[in-house]
A and B are shown apart, each in its own frame.
Chain A
Amino acid sequence: MIMKGGTHIVGDHIDTDQIIPARYLGSLDPKVLAEGCFYNLIPQFATMVTPGDILVGGENLGCGSSREHAPIAIKSAGIACVVARSFSRIFYRSAINIGLPAIVCPAAVDFARQGAEMTVDFDKGVVESGGKSAAFAPFGPSILAIIAAGGLVPFMSQRLARESATA
């Protein structure tokens, strides 16, 4: 799998309140969540995204509240993949679970430039942009199985199907 898109950069410790303010949490509608994505930080964020673009964050991306609306809002805004120096653990799990790959790659954050094209090659484990590239650590087997299924919901469906077949 290879993802290629324009780069959108945010800073360190961007918490889930900044990703999607609480007043948007009454809805699970992707359109509403896309509209609220980074509402206070980067107004109109979703209008600047071309579907398939890549979000680049600093340290501890997605810290704070456990709201899964945060990765859903980012995905709904059109972002295909998130690269950061580090993630908060709840956000990291939730992003993977909803099919938004989250990549830890500090070197890529160093060379990322706003608007530049970035390529993430999942098979080679490499992030590339502006003629520079950096490797990222492979996913563990638990996470890989979820990504391979297309997220935790299809992963669940597969397990339910297996279990009902053997029951």
Chain B
Amino acid sequence: MGLTATQKIVARHCGRDAVAIGETVTVKVDLAMSNDMTSPLAVKQFRSAGAKKVFDPDKICIVAGRHMPFRDEAFGSAVGLVGEWCRDQGIKNFYANTEGMDHALVPDLGFIRPGMLVCNADSHTCTYGALGAWGLPMGSTDMAYIYAFGETWVRVPETIRVRYTGKPAKYVTSKDYVLATERALTVDGARYKTIEFCGPALDALSVDERFTISNMGIEMGAKTSFMAPDQKVRDYLATRTKVPYEAVYSDEDAEFERSVDIDVSKLEPVVAKPHSPDNVVPVSELKNIRVNQVCIGTCTNGRLIDLQQALEVLRGRKVAAGVRLIVTPATNIIMREAEKLGLIEEFRALGATINPPGCGPCAGWHQGVLAEGEVCVATHNRNFPGRMGSPKALVYLSSPYVAAATAVAGVIASPAEVLS
């Protein structure tokens, strides 16, 4: 019996040739991370335990500017203390200004490479699977332990294989692929497991489009997402890092718990209705649902291609009266590229609000929190009750195309409808 990529990555990080599925082992961590929400507790726990020095300051990266500019004194102070701790520990990779949010930033900085094992105190760490890395989400206390010792325990998970085939219709994007997968696997169908995405329709996507899919593994309960790195990944990395890497691949005869095939040629643009990411229906089923706000951004869909796709629909049209359009590029790198291409100016001319790079209103923290009874279409990854503010607000998840079409129509709409 061959091995899954997951088994190979875990084996490599515990100094063995092979590990069995279900086994619990201690693994070395290549990169340890936390953010503005989760670092303050990680640092507090590190200190409470009496730890003095981190295991390796060069293997730690703290992206604490997800919610910059900080909204209140307590939050600003907490991030300030994390910054001091990084200085004391010699951690150079501390980003708490305008850099943006980690899941889009660290791949772009070349910090994520195939075969790596990355732990980050954030649930969407599974995003790094698009580069053939093992991104493992953790809590803050787990990270405190990793900051001290550079290792953690893991149970070797089963792998579910999701295979995308077929050629998509126009306006069907990787967001529709992953929402269709949510519907198939449900919100906990991959709990404790790796989802390995593959297939010709995945190969046809750009690396940035693949991040949208790997990002939402956690919304199916997965421990992490994985994609076999191909030439597109090698090209992506060539311009971003000189550090050598060794990719891993699942063997032909590896043990997969199950395989799910999704023919993307049969998909039309979809949305996840409130209040769960797996509550997915074709957008054409939704009629006369008025919206107050449309959000484009986040670690799921806050990259350049997402802004471009939204503008494909918005260009030459108007945002419907009464709709707030909020655009949040995930990082400053993306913001600057979008500015150079004139995209930000186009959004501004449409009356959009441009948030600083980061998470924007996704977690209901700031910059677009919803009031009771409001309806929002967002390119985000979660719509649990109260996620973006009031528990009586309704959040629908979609691709940038559907979000843009909705902004124009003022009601939830498919791009084809708006463009015809």
Contacts and interface: CB of A to CB of B under 8 A. Distances in A.
Which secondary structure characterizes the binding site on chain B?
loop
Interface size class on chain A is 35 or more
Given A17-B364, A26-B78, A66 B384 contact: no
A142 to B, nearest CB: 4
B141 A18 contact: no
Interface string B160-188: 00000000000000000000000000011
Contacts of B153: 142
B244 to A, nearest CB: 31
Nearest to B157: A89
Given A26-B74, A90-B123, 12 more contacts: A13-B187, A17-B382, A17-B385, A18-B386, A60-B221, A64-B387, A65-B122, A89-B191, A98-B141, A141-B24, A156-B51, A156-B149
A20 to B, nearest CB: 10
Contacts of A17: 363-364, 382, 384-387
From A97, A153, A161, residue with most partner B Cβ within 10 Å: A153
Which A-B residue pairs are the 9 nearest by beta carbons? A94-B139, A156-B49, A40-B391, A60-B188, A68-B139, A97-B141, A142-B153, A66-B123, A15-B384
A63 B50 CA distance: 31
24 contacts: A15-B387, A21-B386, A22-B363, A22-B365, A26-B74, A26-B78, A40-B385, A41-B391, A60-B187, A63-B221, A64-B123, A65-B363, A67-B38, A68-B41, A94-B142, A140-B155, A141-B24, A142-B153, A151-B141, A152-B142, A153-B48, A153-B49, A156-B51, A160-B50
A31 to B, nearest CB: 14
Contacts of A89: 191-192, 221, 223
Contact of A93 (B44, B142, B385): B142
B110 to A, nearest CB: 24
Contacts of A94: 139-142
B359 to A, nearest CB: 10
Interface in B94-113: none
A153 B141 contact: yes
A32 B44 CA distance: 17
Interface size class on chain B is 35 or more
Contacts of B187: 13, 60, 63
Interface in B339-393: 363-365, 382, 384-387, 391
A86 interface: yes
